[in-house]
Amino acid sequence: MPLSVRPPVHTLPSYSLTSDLLGFLRCGLQYRYSRIGNLPPSHPVQLWFGQFIHAVLDESYRQVKEGQMALPPWSEDDLRKIMDRISARLSARNIRCWDDDSKVLGERRATAAVNELGPLLFPLINQSEVRVRGARKLPDDVKGIRDIERYEMLGVIDVVTQVELFNPKFRGNTLLELMVEELPETPPQEFEIIVDYKGMKRPDLAEKGTSHADIYEWQVHTYAHLRQSLSTKKVIAGVLIYLNELVPTKTDFRRLQQALKLREKKVILPEPGSDDERVLRDWKSKDKDDEPPLLSLDFRIKRAVRVIPISDISIAKSLREFDKTVGRIEKCIVEEAKTGCVISSWEKNTDHEPTCEACDSRTYCPDFKGMNAPRLPGYKI
């Protein structure tokens, strides 16, 4: 008796909003090795930085939500227990910070995030670590090249805030006031704002071409699209919180000093005549170990928080950009399958110097012009 053959199982390719979209746009070849090839970086300091501060903030919020601790600020001992617990979790996954100075800086930023940002942010939080997903059609120019017509979008929203403007518990919250005052229209009485933490300094909006600021804006709009399919309340804005701005490095501080001197309009600077402006203008490092002074919390939060208004038009635009990026990744995958060559099949990025400097593949990347490095013998381009 003839038996029918089970049809092949087709799974949708999944693309994460951070690991895939942002990784590929930084550099396609680096994305191929680290994300698809699962090659771990030799110096995962940046990976540790982002995950450490994210996890400390999330664990601190859970302590408050479950009633185990009151709102911050907390003592150094209380925070040390949380940070040691997070460090142990990351170490179990082989994510460590091998540089002592970087570890100290990461702990200072985590402390500032909990004790300075936490009292303003935690009361606004409705949910944290919210997983979202959805499916989209592949762009027409790549549809069917792998016998698939759709792809899956995945993401994790760090924080979803649910705000009722008439609720007295939100009055006087300077973080909420900053969010609302940057919106182009008066918000409804009840709404949601999605918040995403970034373990980096605020990018300058004056960058040429597609900047990191643009890429993170697409990410927030995509989060809003996926979130609105799960909620009855409207998402009116996304907020990016650049955690490095809470404790800037000496390099960051000097960049602000230069922007102040040149009066750069696209860089957020202190108000003229304010104490922050005077401190920023007058501070000079006497030796290499000098740490720059911390400017006022209001100014640092203003630097850290970027509010992105959400609308149906802006969501549609960002989804088109996401589709294009997925299409570019799919074309690279198919090209590699056809030719058997990795390096020549994947897009490269030589415009963002920090991405290249942190890349373990730069010594044999044909597009990297930063050094005259030896090539691997006999490799096929």
Fold assignment, 14-247+294-329: Lambda Exonuclease; Chain A (3.90.320)
Determine the pLDDT at residue 7.
60
The pLDDT of residue 375 is 47
At residue 216, the pLDDT reads 85
- The tens place of each residue's pLDDT in the chain, 381 residues long, gives 677 776 655 678 889 888 888 889 888 998 998 888 887 776 666 678 889 999 999 999 999 999 999 999 999 999 999 999 999 999 998 888 878 888 999 999 999 999 999 999 999 998 888 999 998 988 877 766 677 788 899 899 998 887 776 777 777 888 888 888 888 778 888 889 999 999 888 887 644 445 667 788 888 999 999 998 887 788 999 999 999 999 999 999 999 999 999 988 889 999 999 999 999 999 998 877 788 999 999 999 999 999 999 999 999 999 998 999 999 999 999 899 999 999 889 998 666 666 777 777 777 787 776 555 444 444 444
Q: Give this prediction's pTM.
A: 0.85
How far from 31 is each of 328, 343, 370, CA to CA, in Å?
12, 12, 19
In the chain, what are the domain boundaries? 14-247+294-329
